[in-house]
Structure 1
Amino acid sequence: MRIETKDILSKKNLTEAKGYLDVGFTHSLNPYSGCAFSCRYCYVREMPIQKFKGVPWGEWVDIKTNAAEIYRKEILTLRGKSKTVNIFMSSATDPYQPLERKTNITRAILEEMIKNPPDFLQIQTRSPLIIRDIDLLVKLKKKCRVLVSMTIETDREDIKRIFSPYAPGIKLRTKALKEVHDAGISTQVSISPVMPFSPDFPKVLDGIVDHIWIDTLIIGDGTMGKRSRRLGMPELFKEHGLSKWYRDDIHVMVVKYFKKYFPSDIIRVSKTEAFPK
């Protein structure tokens, strides 16, 4: 799939956390606008940034070439006001999408964070490319709390091909998360949104995660499922014979199942528990 890219200069990169993230995070940080992974269920498809774009989601990425510089200015200003800074990176893009391999925008931000650290950084990604930056993450965790959260919404490759065909493979993601965990960096699996999985899914995650976060297309799209319905998710589940997985209480069932394998205190659910204590 051809990706339309554009270099842009960002005036602001730390956005005050509101809505879903306003539970402990103070800011979100997006090194890019747009996302080449183009997941079919992505709620950003229904947000203004995409609605008025004119190019289909997944086929454009704006590269914030001055993101590290802007971060430095913003963090210094916040520190001058004695503000707590808990960052979620990223809320509307993937900081390690394929372009990052050559642009190094996210890596430059991490280098700047080592000099001017936040209080807490959660990196949310579905990309194995994050292992490239383990050296920086190890340095950064000496300066602040760092959590690497890897989206692994299923352990079934056939399901991934239906809902996120351009995203990295499941085995590559779990292998990357293990490498991050083995490097002594706190790790989380984000089962978000919950997709049909096999009974062995918990075993895949055993020994490589410190936190498990669960969210769904219904309680986690910011509109109690309205965005997901507009994106055609009920129909897509039905088309593939998966309707039993598209239900209001699926998170209850998944939590109950995972608690058979993991301590209850490491499992969290949706918005109210999104911030790791």
Structure 2
Amino acid sequence: MEIEYRQPKQFLTKASGFLAYYTHTLNPYMGCQFGCQYCYVRKSPISLFSGKNWGEWVTIKQDVTHQFEKELRRAKQKGNVTIFMSSSTDPYQPLEKKHEITRHLLEVMAQAPPDFLFIQTRSPLIQRDIDILSRYPGKFIVSMTIETDREEIIRHFTPHAPSIKSRLLTLAKLKAANIPVQVAIAPVLPCTDDFAHILKPYTHQVTVDDYFMGDGSQGRRTKALGIDSIYKAIDEMSWYHPEAYQNVANMMKKTFGDGNVAISIEGFKPKN
């Protein structure tokens, strides 16, 4: 893993595209140690212009001059501020355990909360920050990625990601601390008919998304990654299809109720 340190020009980036319902995105890091095979960021400028393999480098954004606090204050003076953390990295990738960049940003936001904060992760490390989240004074939600209930499938697509069990145990701790949570089945990966029942004890809200709706290019970015070759290798090509998500969505609606299951962008918008 190639590690660099940088004082960024800015932490807050104007949101656009899939996340246009937010005013800003917030990425504590550039690059991501998880290096998921299907990650659309592999085909984004941040990855392509780096000249490096996605998953093999991370730039740590240092806030040595309290820049984020100043940015947030200026943004709030201009109007409503809604933040999606994070759009091109996992804010709780393993490096966060040592460097605590995300924790620092949370501490700043706890003092001056944006109008809404969406935290997207697949990492159990977020439970470290339950002390901040349990007393966070603003509106927010933690969205935990759990793409399937089949651990062997996870290993084919995201070999460096945390186990499904560890993510569920983290959700249990967050829920016990009265922290608002949802599960993001994003992207939908091959799963069993028990998936919804497995998730039921850990959350009341589920969002279902796939490559064709969620990669920002109607699946073209994902196709360019050659993800179909993984589906072919594991004999699961029936799951690599624009309609495959519907079976999972219907399964979730049957267990959670229609009002608690969102499809694609609807599940990532700022909450009331």
Structure 2 counterpart of 1:259, which letter?
K
Q: Which TM-score applies when normalising by structure 1?
A: 0.95
> C-alpha distance in 2, partners of 1:147/1:63?
24
Deviation string, structure 1 residues 115-168 (Cα, Å, up to 9, x no partner) = 11111111100000000000000111xx21120000000111100000000000
> C-alpha distance in 1, partners of 2:65/2:111?
11
- Cα deviation, residue 273, structure 1: 4.4
**1:1-277 matches, cutoff 5 A:** 3-23=1-21, 25-66=22-63, 69-81=66-78, 83-140=79-136, 143-275=137-269, 276-277=271-272
Question: In structure 1, the residue corresponding to 2:159 is in which secondary structure?
Answer: coil
Question: In structure 1, the residue corresponding to 2:184 is in which secondary structure?
Answer: strand
Deviation string, structure 1 residues 40-70 (Cα, Å, up to 9, x no partner) = 0000000011112121100000000118922
- What is the aligned-residue RMSD (CA, Å)? 1.3
- Cα deviation, residue 271, structure 1: 2.1
> C-alpha distance in 1, partners of 2:219/2:20?
19
- Count of aligned pairs: 271
- The percent identity for this pair of structures is 45
**Native 8 Å contact 1:10 1:67 kept in 2:** no
Q: Structure 1 unaligned runs (5+)?
A: none
**Native 8 Å contact 1:13 1:67 kept in 2:** no
Deviation string, structure 1 residues 206-261 (Cα, Å, up to 9, x no partner) = 13213211110111111001011111112211111000111111222221111110
Structure 1 residues 251 and 68, CA gap change in structure 2 (3 angstroms) = farther
Deviation string, structure 1 residues 20-48 (Cα, Å, up to 9, x no partner) = 0113x211100000000010000000001
**Native 8 Å contact 1:67 1:109 kept in 2:** no
> C-alpha distance in 1, partners of 2:65/2:148?
33
Question: In structure 2, the residue corresponding to 1:218 is in which secondary structure?
Answer: helix
> C-alpha distance in 1, partners of 2:52/2:159?
19
**Native 8 Å contact 1:6 1:61 kept in 2:** yes
> C-alpha distance in 2, partners of 1:68/1:226?
40
- Cα deviation, residue 88, structure 1: 0.7
> C-alpha distance in 1, partners of 2:146/2:57?
24
**Native 8 Å contact 2:2 2:58 kept in 1:** yes
**Native 8 Å contact 1:67 1:105 kept in 2:** no
Point out the more displaced range, 170-179 or 265-274. Answer: 265-274
Deviation string, structure 1 residues 84-129 (Cα, Å, up to 9, x no partner) = 1111100000000000000010011111111111111111000000
Structure 1 residues 177 and 67, CA gap change in structure 2 (3 angstroms) = farther
> C-alpha distance in 2, partners of 1:109/1:274?
20
**Native 8 Å contact 2:134 2:179 kept in 1:** yes
> C-alpha distance in 2, partners of 1:254/1:45?
26
> C-alpha distance in 2, partners of 1:21/1:51?
21
> C-alpha distance in 2, partners of 1:26/1:171?
34
- Cα deviation, residue 274, structure 1: 2.5
Structure 1 residues 187 and 201, CA gap change in structure 2 (3 angstroms) = same
Question: In structure 2, the residue corresponding to 1:260 is in which secondary structure?
Answer: helix
